[in-house]
Amino acid sequence: MFEIALEEHMSCFGRLNDLKAAILEAGTALGAALKNGRKILICGNGGSAADAQHFAAEIVGRFVMERKAWPAVALTTDTSILSAVANDYGYESVFERQVEALGKAGDILIGLSTSGNSPNVIHAVDKAKDIGLYTVALLGGNGGVLKQSADQSIIIPAAKTARIQEAHIFILHLWAEIIEYVMTKGMPPHEGLS
């Protein structure tokens, strides 16, 4: 079991090099949005909800550098909003309503979905685009519906949810590092590099 899981993990991570340009582009966009006084909203379900919270914590708290806090909101954390919206409008609206309330043109929404078919994330992306947010989707498998909906889709080429989520957290950590570099040095660390 250990060997199989490790082999799957290494195989999945080995294919991330094919996604390098898109990953770096999205990370740079996140840094630029914050540099321009905008904020990042993040949503997902289950393990992806935990990843949304984890990423927001890295941006508001700190990742590596000692620096000021920057605005990032995990839309997965307020149980009163989640339960009220789910009760009144349906679970598919729990993120969409928060995007409508908190999002402004120029902000960025990150939608996490290992299948790419989570209705509440799809609704959030659609609402975000309607009000002028840039949308980034971290997906898996074949990308599902979200691969066409988001402005930028990064699809992890794996079938198992665990391997997809492992790659997602790697990318989120890389983005946190890029953001800190952009915000403190004024340019992405990979600028000018191949």
pLDDT at 189: 66
pLDDT in tens, 85-136: 999 999 999 999 999 999 999 999 999 999 999 999 999 999 999 999 999 9
Return the closest-CA partner of residue 119 out of 141, 151, 148, 90. Answer: 90
Count of Cβ atoms closer than 10 Å to residue 171 Cβ: 22
pLDDT, average across residues 57-61: 97
Instruction: Report the C-alpha gap between 62 and 55 in whole angstroms.
Output: 10
Residues in contact with 111: Cβ distance below 8 Å, sequence separation at least 6, in sequence order: 42, 43, 44, 95, 118, 121, 122, 124, 125, 135, 136, 137, 138, 146, 150
Count of Cβ atoms closer than 10 Å to residue 40 Cβ: 25
Percent of the chain at pLDDT exceeding 70: 96
pTM for this model (two decimals): 0.94
Domains, the chain, in order of start with CATH, read 2-185 (3.40.50.10490)
Least confident stretch, 14-18, 50-54, 98-102: 14-18
Provide the edge-to-edge strand list for the sheet that holds 152-156.
Answer: 72-74, 40-43, 108-113, 134-140, 152-156
Instruction: Report the C-alpha gap between 132 and 146 in whole angstroms.
Output: 17
